[in-house]
Amino acid sequence: ADIISTVEFNYSGDLLATGDKGGRVVIFQREQESKSRPHSRGEYNVYSTFQSHEPEFDYLKSLEIEEKINKIRWLPQQNAAHFLLSTNDKTIKLWKISERDKRAEGYNLKDEDGRLRDPFRITALRVPILKPMDLMVEASPRRIFANAHTYHINSISVNSDHETYLSADDLRINLWHLEITDRSFNIVDIKPANMEELTEVITAAGFHPHQCNVFVYSSSKGTIRLCDMRSSALCDRHSKFFEEPEDPSSRSFFSEIISSISDVNFSHSGRYMMTRDYLSVKVWDLNMENRPVETYQVHEYLRSKLCSLYENDCIFDKFECCWNGSDSAIMTGSYNNFFRMFDRNTRRDITLEASRENSKPRAVLKPRKVCTGGKRKKDEISVDSLDFNKKILHTAWHPVENVIAVAATNNLYIFQDKIN
Amino acid sequence: MFGRGLKRKCFDNEEEADGPPAGVRAVAPYDLQRQSLLDMSLVKLQLCHMLVEPNLCRSVLIANTVRQIQEEMTQDGAWRMVAPQGAGLAPLDRLVSTDILCRSAQEQEHGKPGPEDSTFPKGFKEDQAPDLTCDAPAVTAAQAPEHPPSSVWDLDSSRENRGSFQKSLDQIFETLESKNPSSVEDLFSDVDSSYYDLDTVLTGMMGSSRAGPCDTLEGFTPLAPAPPGPGCKADLGELDHIVEILVET
């Protein structure tokens, strides 16, 4: 299994898609509840696997284009088939996933093996009939949106109008129509005329869940800009600008790097948005630009290790974050296969571990704690023992229920509330 | 703590018995740390050039960090304004002034402490954890960018410097080899030794044309000093003498 690079539930939560570094997409489907097998309620099993992207070579630049899937976004379901967008660094593809459980039999011109029948031997005509067959799930690429990004695509986001979507790379954001592949509109362009003046890049972008004219994008300097597409065709001028003033007492050479936002997500309600920087998760009220309304420390104990984390490049890790269905809780990943969940109402938080060695299937997860100094209690783990190669960058929360998917390198873990 | 990689050295001040006298060590650390961070950042920028296009966000962040360090270094005033550690965070809250000119003279007096003497000052908010290390190449070794390169270079062509250059070069090679074996051969190919500053590195990585492996390290004998490039690109001017960044645009 390859390293998982993205995880996403569909709108109903029945399907869970993962993309990996090898360009493959694996879709899991939730089993229906059945009285005969009560324990398999809500289990996710593989539904479909297909190769979404292949490695390419850019001959002009003599550089490889990785096939790694950066993001998957589902489209709302409109018929029996499922549609999703998957993207690598350069190309976005619309995939149709459909089921086939019937087969036509009784063709006139070919027999059951598929061999052509000798026309002279056909003496009677018959009407083919549909017969049931074993379920087959087919994935086919329906649209390929290519050649619109000079830089690496980091985000895609489906608009609430269900007709358009945006794709964002380091310097530009493009607006597409799902039906049209040979054209896209550039709506944000922060490329300086002189590249030597480049100091800031786009790190993530997303459409508002209800207002189809509103989107946000975050930057490597820790700022978020909200744009309204009604104001102008090119949204280089933001409508709102969100930035928290820097705390001068904690300034260091790493301040900018750790302020870089790795993920931005609107709440389901559309009233808030959440950003993830290296050490914290912040919840912003869209009506207040000068500071977040809530800040959650993910792993503050790493603040004193920033130099080492800079040296081994971990400081550039891009963690994602997600809301639960009711926006009452948020989740994000950390190192050592730890992930953190914060309850916004009770202000309680918990650290859990996604690891086969440390928990049995169906056992309740034990909360973890990192010892930050002084005497290490039993069951605590000290900061220096954390495994920085085991990072949980991608997590997803079921849109309705308390089911979460956690990608730990090349393993996918699915957790749910204990069933009483 | 950090898995695989080069063997880490301890950053602990107390373990060094053969460093410079304690008085100097107490005063020097911030500048050395800052220099180490700058060196490490410059190496990171060079090692960006792999088979796949480098991560632009990472490059921009590193470049901004380099600029910050350079700005602070050029704004530094008197060398001795770096307060002893007992003064706490005060000197680090504002831009500490260190006169590069004086510093290089200072280092010539006291010899050049190697990276193992360094500990990060409180301004970096670092614990002196045993695993903490910066194996930054000592190649750029706090050379005065504003100095006419000839004088600085001549003063520093000591055996000790060459030794540390070799060590740093080995480290770079080791890292490069593990990532991209073919780039090692390119390191020895004939290259254009024109002056490249930080901005050109960044521009080059935007890469209109091919961006093959870009590191070129040309020997360790003191080169004829190249004319200083436009503006004060601080240690990159020095870097030019020792480590040449090849960027094909």
Q: What is the DSSP letter of A397?
A: E
* pLDDT tens, position by position, A386-410: 999 999 999 999 999 999 999 999 9
- Position A121 scores a pLDDT of 84
The whole-angstrom separation of Cα A316 and Cα A180 is: 35
- What is residue A376's predicted lDDT score, i.e. its pLDDT? 78
Helices and strands counted in chain A (H then E): 2, 31
Look at residue A37 and give its three-state secondary structure.
coil
pTM of the model: 0.71
State residue B53's pLDDT score.
Answer: 74
Tell me the shortest Cα–Cα distance from B155 to chain A, in angstroms.
30
Q: Which amino acid is at A297?
A: Q
DSSP notation for A229-278? TTT-SSTTS-SEEE-PPP-GGG--TTHHHHHS--EEEE-TTSSEEEEE-S
How far, in Å, CA of A257 to CA of B58, rounded? 9
Is A18 or B143 the better-scoring residue by pLDDT?
A: A18
How many structural domains is chain A composed of? 1
Chain B residue with Cα closest to A383 = B1
C-alpha B228 chain-centroid distance: 18
- Tens digits of residue pLDDT in A98-108: 999 999 988 88
pLDDT at B131 over 50: no
CB contact under 8 A, B131 and A384: yes
Domain assignment present for A199: no
pLDDT band at B235 (very low <50, low <70, confident <90, very high): low
Interhelix angle for B198-206 vs B56-75, to 10°?
A: 170
Q: Do B60 and A200 touch (CB under 8 A)?
A: yes
- When pLDDT is averaged across residues A246-262 and rounded to a whole number, the result is 94
Most confident of the following: A145-149, A370-374, B76-80, B226-230:
A145-149
Per residue in B147-176, pLDDT (tens digit) is 333 332 333 333 443 444 344 333 443 333
Q: Are B121 and B93 in contact (CB under 8 A)?
A: no
Q: Inform me whether the C-beta atom of residue B229 falls under 8 Å from chain A C-beta atoms.
A: no
- Is the predicted pLDDT of residue B14 greater than 80, yes or no? no
Let me know: does A44 contact A414? Beta carbons within 8 Å.
yes
* B199 membership: H or E segment, kind and range: helix B198-206
Q: What pLDDT is recorded for position A235? A: 87
Residue A80 structure tokens: 């029996």
In a domain, A107, yes or no: yes
Chain A residues within an 8 Å CB radius of B207: 61, 63
Phi and psi at B56, nearest 5°, equal -65, -40
| Structure confidence at residue A419 (pLDDT) | 58
Q: What is the pLDDT of residue B189?
A: 39
The whole-number average pLDDT for the span A241-251 is 92
Interface of A with B in 75-114 (CB under 8 A): 89
From chain B residues 29-58, the ones with a CB under 8 A of any chain A CB are 34, 37, 40, 44, 51-53, 55-58
Note whether residue A151 is domain-resident. Answer: no
CA-CA distance, A330 to A274, in Å (whole number)? Answer: 9
Mean pLDDT of chain A: 93
* Domain housing A121: 1-146
- pLDDT tens digits, A11-62: 999 999 999 999 999 999 998 877 666 665 678 999 999 999 999 998 888 8
Stretch B52-75: mean pLDDT, rounded?
Answer: 91
pLDDT of B140 higher than 80:
no
Residue A112 lies in a domain: yes
- A220 min Cα distance to partner chain B (Å): 7
How far B106 CA lies from chain A's nearest CA (Å)? Answer: 25
A388 in reach of chain B (CB within 8 A): yes
B114 has a pLDDT exceeding 70: no
Please indicate, yes or no, if residue A375 is contained in any of the structural domains: no
Residue A293 has pLDDT above 90, yes or no: yes
Pairing, β A380-382 against β A369-371: parallel
Task: With respect to residue A103, please indicate whether it lies within any of the assigned structural domains.
Answer: yes
C-alpha–C-alpha distance, residues A64 and A54, integer Å: 11
3-state helix/strand/coil string of B135-185: CCCCCCCCCCCCCCHHHHHHHHCCHHHHHHHHHHHHHHHHHHHHHCHHHHH
A305 at interface of B, judged by CB pairs closer than 8 A = yes
ipTM: 0.92
* Structure confidence at residue B162 (pLDDT): 40
Q: Quote the DSSP letter at residue B52.
A: B
Share of chain B above pLDDT 70, in %: 17
Q: How many residues does chain B have?
A: 249
A264 or A371, which is more confident: A264
pLDDT tens figures, A151-210:
999 999 999 999 999 999 999 999 999 999 999 999 999 999 999 899 999 999 999 999
Nearest CA distance, B213 vs chain A (angstrom): 11
pLDDT at residue A41, rounded to an integer = 66
Q: What's the confidence (pLDDT) of residue B181?
A: 39
Cα separation, A158 vs A160, whole angstroms? 7
Give the residue, A237 or B181, on which the prediction is more confident.
A237
Report the residue of B38, B45, B60, B178 to disrupt the A interface, i.e. the one with the largest count of A CBs within 10 Å: B60
Residues A324, A396: Cα–Cα separation, whole Å = 9
Most confident of A307-316, B125-134, B211-220: A307-316
Of residues B123, B124, B136, the one with CA closest to residue B45: B136
Nearest CA in chain A to B66: A253
Mean pLDDT of B39-43: 92
pLDDT of residue B52 exceeding 80, the answer is no
If you average pLDDT over every residue of chain B, what do you get? 49
Q: Residues 81-100, chain B: which have Cβ within 8 Å of A?
A: 93
Return the structure tokens found at B124.
């970096």
Domain annotation covers residue A135? yes
Q: Is residue A188 part of a domain?
A: no
Looking at the complex, does the CB of residue B80 fall below 8 Å from at least one CB of chain A? Answer: no
